[in-house]
Amino acid sequence: MSVAALAYIIFESPDGEAWAAFLERTVGLAPAAFAGPGRYFRLDDAAWRINVRPGARERFAVAGLELAGDAALDACIARLREAGAPAEEDAALAAERGVLRLVRSADPCGNAIELIVGRTLGYEHFASPAGVSGFVAGDMGLGHVVLPAPEIEAAKRFWLEVIGLGLTDTMSFTLAPGAGPQKLYFMHADNARHHSVALFEAPSPTGLVHFMLEAAAIDDVGRFIDRCERDGVHIASQFGRHSNDRMMSVYVMTPGGSMLEFGCDGLQIDWRSWIPTTSLVPDLWGHKFMGPPSAPAI
C-alpha cells in the first residue's frame, strides 16, 4: 500500500479570526509558526496539520496524502496518467507546503488531492492552548476526512485502484425519513487507523462532510463538549460510539459550515488479518443528530 497517512487539510475562509478562535480556544490546537498564506495549526510534532488560508468564501480546499517515498509517488503518478486523471507535479507548491515533492490531482467528483513525500517535522513539544492531553496522530496522520462523492462508485474505484487506499468498511446511511439510503465507503492507509478517507454518496456545499481529530482520552472529549457550550459552538450530533471504528465522539459545526468530529478510543487494526466488512447500523449508541439537515452526522 502506497499511502502512509492523511498528512494535512486546507480550508479557505474570509474569516481567519473565527477559525483561529475555534481551532485554538475550542478545539485546542496550537498555532504553528510556519511561513505561508493564512494560519497554520499543530497537534503533534509535524510542522503543521491544518491551514486556513484567505478565500472569498468558506470552502474545503484540499486534502494532503503522504506517500511512503519517491517510488510510491512515481507509481501513483503512472496510475493517475493511465486513468486519465490529473497528475501535476508542482515544485513551488511543494516548497510552500514544506515537503520535498508534491503532485496535484482530483478524484472523479472533483475533490482536490495533494500527494506528497517528505513532510516537515517541527519536533516542538505540543502544548494545547485548551489543555487537551494529546492527539492520536504522528504516523497515523491527522485523523480522517469524509468527502462528498455523488458519483460514488467511480470515486471508490479511483481511491482504491489509482490512489491505493484499502477498503475497510461499507455502510448505507439514511439522512432523513423518506430519503433513500446513501452509501459510505471507509478506506484506510498503511497505518492502524480504521479509515483516513471516507466517501459519502451526496454533495456538500462546503466541499467536505466532516473531518475527525482523535484525542488521547475520553476526558478530553468531555471537556471539548464543555468548551463548545461555553463558546457557543453548535453541537450537530450528540456524544455516541460508532459501530465500525468504535470511535466515541461528538460532531460540531465549524466556522466554515462543515463538521468536526472530535473523538477518542478509535479502533486500531492490523491490516494483515482484516477482511472488509459491511456495517448495518452507524452507531452502537448515541450520536443523536441535532441538525442542520444538510450536514449528516457520519
> What is the C-alpha separation between 255 and 17, in angstroms, rounded?
10
pLDDT at residue 176, rounded to an integer:
61
pLDDT at residue 67, rounded to an integer:
98
Domain ranges of the chain: 3-117, 138-286
Q: pLDDT tens across 140-179, in order?
A: 999 999 999 999 999 999 999 999 999 999 999 776 666 6
On the question of a common fold for 3-117 and 138-286, the answer reads yes
Grid coordinates belonging to 98: 514544506
pLDDT at residue 17, rounded to an integer:
97
Grid coordinates belonging to 75: 507509481
Question: Exposed, middle or buried: residue 194 (CB in 10 Å: 0-12, 13-18, 19+)?
Answer: buried
Give the distance, in angstroms, between the CA of residue 128 and the centroid of all CA atoms in the same chain.
20
Domain 3-117 has CATH 3.40.50.300: no
pLDDT at residue 292, rounded to an integer:
65
Q: Is the pLDDT of residue 291 over 90?
A: no
Q: Is the pLDDT of residue 180 over 70?
A: yes
Q: Is the pLDDT of residue 293 over 50?
A: no
pLDDT at residue 175, rounded to an integer:
65
Grid coordinates belonging to 242: 460508532
What's the whole-number average pLDDT of the chain? 95
| Residue pair 22/254 in contact by the 8 Å Cβ criterion | yes
Tell me which CATH code domain 138-286 carries: 3.10.180.10
Please report the DSSP string for the chain in residue order: --EEEEEEEEEEES-HHHHHIIIIIII-PEE----SSSEEEESSSBS-SEEEEE-SS-EEEEEEEEESSHHHHHHHHHHHHHTT---EE-HHHHHHHT-SEEEEEE-TT--EEEEEES--B--PPP--TT----BS-GGG-S-EEEEE-SSHHHHHHIIIIII--EEEEEEEE--STTSPPEEEEEEE-SSSBS-SEEEESS--TTS-SEEEEEBSSHHHHHHHHHHHHHHT--EEEEEEEESSS--EEEEEE-TTSSEEEEEE---B--TTS---EEES-SEEEE--B-S-TTS---
| Residue pair 137/143 in contact by the 8 Å Cβ criterion | yes
pLDDT at residue 177, rounded to an integer:
64
Q: Is the pLDDT of residue 294 over 60?
A: no
Angle at 79 between CA 76 and CA 80, to 5 degrees: 85
Grid coordinates belonging to 170: 461499507
pLDDT band at 290 (very low <50, low <70, confident <90, very high): confident
For 159, list phi and psi in degrees, rounded to 5.
Answer: -70, -35
- Residue 120 Cα distances to 73, 94, 138, angstroms: 17, 11, 12
